[in-house]
Amino acid sequence: MVTLTIDGREVRAEEGKVLLEVARDNRIDIPALCQHDSVAAYGACRLCMVEISRKGREKLVASCLYPAEEGLVVKTDSPRVIHVRRTVTELLLARCPDSEVLQDLARKLGIERPRFSLEEGNHKCILCALCTRACEQVVGASAISLANRGTARQMATPFHAFSEACIACGTCAEICPTRAIDINDVGDTRIIVMPNVTMEFKLKQCSVCGSYWAPERQLEHIIRQAGLPDNAFDKCPDCRD
């Protein structure tokens, strides 16, 4: 264990635990849009920046990546931190003016109108890579990725077309912090609307009640992974014994 100070409070933490986690353990709120416990940290959104002071030197670090150390002094709400947090929020909001999560954050930070010009169109993707990391690290499908560089950077399927690797599980939509991915089940079809592509998938019909209950591709994926018999999901959960 190590002892450090956050916002003037002395706290104990496991050595190596990242500052964001330590702060949350101590009910100190730091905004963080690209962090999720189920995937490796990535440091994309920069909203979680905090100021640290070590051996008399101060610097800004991403709290989702920086580990707790003995004697560290951390400030989560210093004027420098608030300035960076506001600027990052304004930049993200300029890219994604329709994102309610960002609008809420901006309100909390007292931002009435971002200084940067708003992009046109219905953008909600902040390029946090939570969806791509979850698709790779949790689902094991790697159906989507972040493509291109600079201003052309975007979350995309290969060639912006139907992704053969996608199993339509919806994990990407579930984990997306800005609701940039939409999922709808209509009749026998699951429709996934991503920022750059819309994909349709067949849903499996229950052999007993006839309801369409889960994407066929997702069930086939589970059958392969778990070595289950081909008919393992012929019945929906409600009609199983």
The entry of ligand FES, ligand SF4, none that residue 61 binds, CB within 5 to 8 Å by partner kind: none
Residues at the contact surface with ligand FES, assessed by CB under 6 A: 32-35, 43-48, 62, 64
Buried b (16+ CB within 10 A) or exposed e, 169-179: bbbbbebbbbe
Q: Using CB under 6 A, which of the segments 15-23, 82-90, 122-130, 157-165 binds ligand SF4?
A: 122-130
Of 4, 68, 93, 127, the one binding ligand SF4 by CB under 6 A: 127
Residue 35 engages ligand SF4 in binding (rule: CB under 6 A): no
Q: How far is the CB of 82 from ligand SF4 (least distance, A)?
A: 24
- Pick what 47 binds: ligand FES, ligand SF4, none; C-beta below 5 to 8 Å, kind-dependent: ligand FES
Which 130-189 positions form the footprint of ligand SF4 (CB under 6 A)?
A: 130-131, 155, 176, 178, 180-181
Comparison of 4 and 129: residue with beta carbon closer to ligand SF4: 129
Query: Long-range pairs for 82-86 at CB < 8 Å and ≥24 separation?
Result: 82/109, 84/46, 84/49, 84/60, 85/31, 85/47, 85/49, 85/109, 86/110, 86/111
181 binds, among ligand FES, ligand SF4, none (CB under 5 to 8 A by kind): ligand SF4
- Under rule CB under 6 A, which residues in 186-215 are in contact with ligand SF4? none
Q: Which residue, 137 or 198, is less far from ligand FES as judged by CB?
A: 137
| Contacts with ligand SF4, residue ranges (CB under 6 A) | 125-131, 155, 176, 178, 180-181
